């Protein structure tokens, strides 16, 4: 199947769904991290510039720490997210969906040295395209994955409306998929303009209870009312 959702079975008999991240968002996160690191290094360089030669030693140390320790420290201590990953809503996890720990993080970040070869993460990219979880070599060796974190969606939920009882005369029971489509429509109703909502809802005209001549409610409103009935609200 052409999707990027990976399932992880848990002891509770539930499947966790993890949305693995592809090369593009990860490259973006890497680029942001690079900028952050350069910024830190520049500021640090200006400060230690006062100390002359000792400063240049500190500078070399800082560059070293930023290259090797920066990703590990952030991944383990900051919830699997370097600043770049946080900005791109990415997160590093173990394959079983648990937060990444020292060993795995150290492994995946040291093997970066191979992923980077021959130029510009060439091996890493090839590896990512050859497996279904977009793992670079470091991820493969360490058993980690990079996933999209879902921003908590501010859903207002389904608008409350007077429930509309399906017309029994139609003799057309909605099956589960159709019911779910109606409910999903209602829950997302707030994200569309009225015109667009009506355009979408007009497809359901056939199953909507017949309108009397004097009923002027539009299709979208009736779908929302039907959804209210389906989730179990009663007037």
Partner 1 sequence: MKQENFESQYRARWDQFEHGMSLTATQRRTLKTDNSKTAKPIDAAFAWPLDELPRRYREICHHLALARDRHYSSTLVERLERLVLAGHQALYGAQELSGGVGRFLRAGLPRLVRQHSSYIWASALLFVGPLIACIIAIQYFPEFAYTIVSPEQMAEVQQMYAPGNQRLGLQRDASGDFAMFGFYVANNVRIDFQCFAGGLLFGVGAIFFLLFNGLFIGAVAGHLTHVGYIETFWGFVAGHSAFELTGIVLSGAAGLMLGMALIAPGRQTRFAAVKSRMPDIIGVVYGAALLTFLAAFIEAFWSASRVPPVQVKYAVGIALWAVTLAYFIFVGRGGNAAANSANNAATNAAKANSAA
13 belongs to the binding site for partner 1 (CB under 8 A): yes
Min dist. Cβ of residue 198 to partner 1 (A)? 21
- The H helix count followed by the E strand count for the chain is 10, 4
d(CA 222, CA 57): 72
Choose one: 22-30, 36-44, 53-61, 202-210; the region binding partner 1 (CB under 8 A).
Answer: 53-61
Question: Any residues with CB less than 8 A from the CB of 212 and at least 6 apart, and which?
Answer: none
> Would you give the DSSP letter of residue 104?
H
**Sequence-separated contacts (24+) of 7-16 with Cβ below 8 Å:** 8/95, 8/96, 8/97, 10/97, 16/97
Min dist. Cβ of residue 133 to partner 1 (A)? 11
Choose one: 33-41, 136-144, 166-174, 193-201; the region binding partner 1 (CB under 8 A).
Answer: 136-144
Residues numbered 57-116 forming contacts with partner 1, rule: CB under 8 A: 57-61, 63-64, 67-68, 93-99, 101-104, 106-107, 110-114
17 belongs to the binding site for partner 1 (CB under 8 A): yes
Question: Any residues with CB less than 8 A from the CB of 81 and at least 6 apart, and which?
Answer: 74, 75, 90, 91, 92, 149
Give the interface with partner 1 as residue ranges (CB under 8 A): 10, 12-14, 16-18, 52-61, 63-64, 67-68, 93-99, 101-104, 106-107, 110-114, 137, 140-143, 150, 152-153, 155, 157-158, 176-177, 179-180, 183-184, 187, 230-233
């Amino acid at each position: 199947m052409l999707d990027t959702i990976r399932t992880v079975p848990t002891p509770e008999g539930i499947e966790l769904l993890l949305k693995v991240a592809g090369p593009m968002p990860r490259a973006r996160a890497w680029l942001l991290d690079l900028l952050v690191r350069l910024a830190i290094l520049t500021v640090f360089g200006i400060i230690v510039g006062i100390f002359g030669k000792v400063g240049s030693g500190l500078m070399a140390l800082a560059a070293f720490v930023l290259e090797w320790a920066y990703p590990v420290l952030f991944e383990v201590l900051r919830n699997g997210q370097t600043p770049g990953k946080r900005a791109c809503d990415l997160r590093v996890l173990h394959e079983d969906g648990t937060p990444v720990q020292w060993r795995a993080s150290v492994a995946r970040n040291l093997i970066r040295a191979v992923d980077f070869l021959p130029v510009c993460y060439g091996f890493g990219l090839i590896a990512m395209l050859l497996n279904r979880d977009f793992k670079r070599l470091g991820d493969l060796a360490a058993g980690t994955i990079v996933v999209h974190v879902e921003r908590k969606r501010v859903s207002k939920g389904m608008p409350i409306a007077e429930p509309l009882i399906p017309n029994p005369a139609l003799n057309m029971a909605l099956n589960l998929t159709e019911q779910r489509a109606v409910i999903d429509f209602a829950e997302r109703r707030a994200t569309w303009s009225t015109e667009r909502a009506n355009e979408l809802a007009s497809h359901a005209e056939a199953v909507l209870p017949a309108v009397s001549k004097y009923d002027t409610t539009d299709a979208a409103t009736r779908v929302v009312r039907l959804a209210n009935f389906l989730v179990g609200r009663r007037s």
